[in-house]
Amino acid sequence: DTAVSQTPKYLVTQMGNDKSIKCEQNLGHDTMYWYKQDSKKFLKIMFSYNNKELIINETVPNRFSPKSPDKAHLNLHINSLELGDSAVYFCASSQESTSGSGELFFGEGSRLTVL
Amino acid sequence: KQEVTQIPAALSVPEGENLVLNCSFTDSAIYNLQWFRQDPGKGLTSLLLIQSSQREQTSGRLNASLDKSSGRSTLYIAASQPGDSATYLCAGTTIKAAGNKLTFGGGTRVLVKP
């Protein structure tokens, strides 16, 4: 009954490959996010979707393409992986409507290593 | 642009001592401030959320305060235990809008020694 779940948890791949990370939330939230945590542990937002609509795109290279098939899912596809893409990617969700608190709930993270 | 700072970056205390973790932010027009805990190799666990109309929130041994005029939030953990060892992150958002763009501090790594 995990609230925000993401797969895979670990991903090791070669430079130039394309990979995807999937995220699902069962909290009934209307907004989902992708955050990146780099080697220095700083967390930065990448994307935000509200009811399947892209709201935030934080100057992320267009090799990164999020897709939200419905408001419970937000997947991240990365093309032509580079060494600098190695990081932990976190999915999160929140309820942003007038009835929501805006509190963010995070998944366990997906550690991507590009060799 | 909101910037969030947490000092110190690391803190070590003996078991039983009270913990005081500091968070400062540059834009006082803060809408939400949230404290998280992160264990090594794990995701973030939400501890407390303080909305702009509130001054503090409490949950068990945890108490978080928000002072918008000084741009500070403080997380107090009473009677610390070894299980409290983790990295604590604060994050704030300045506007109520779809997207809720949280800006994170760098975190304070806490070690509670038995």
Mean pLDDT of the A62-79 span: 94
Interface test with A, best of B42, B100, B108 (most A CBs within 10 A): B100
Shortest CA gap B48–chain A (Å): 9
Across the interface, whether the CB atoms of B34 and A43 are under 8 A apart is answered no
pLDDT of amino acid A35: 95
Mean pLDDT of the A73-93 span: 96
Mean pLDDT of the A61-81 span: 94
Q: Which of A48, A90, A102 sits opposite B43 (nearest CB)?
A: A90
Q: For all residues of chain A together, what is the average pLDDT?
A: 91
Tokens of A109: 């993270």
Sort strands B32-38 and B86-93 into parallel, antiparallel or unpaired: antiparallel
Stretches where chain B sits below pLDDT 50 are none
pLDDT of amino acid A37: 94
B3 at interface of A, judged by CB pairs closer than 8 A? no
Tokens of B37: 């805990």
At CB < 8 A and 24+ separation, what contacts does A46-54 make? A46/A76, A46/A89, A47/A74, A47/A76, A48/B98, A48/B99, A48/B100, A48/B101, A49/A74, A50/A96, A50/B98, A50/B99
Across the interface, whether the CB atoms of A41 and B93 are under 8 A apart is answered no
**Does residue A1 have a pLDDT over 80?**
no
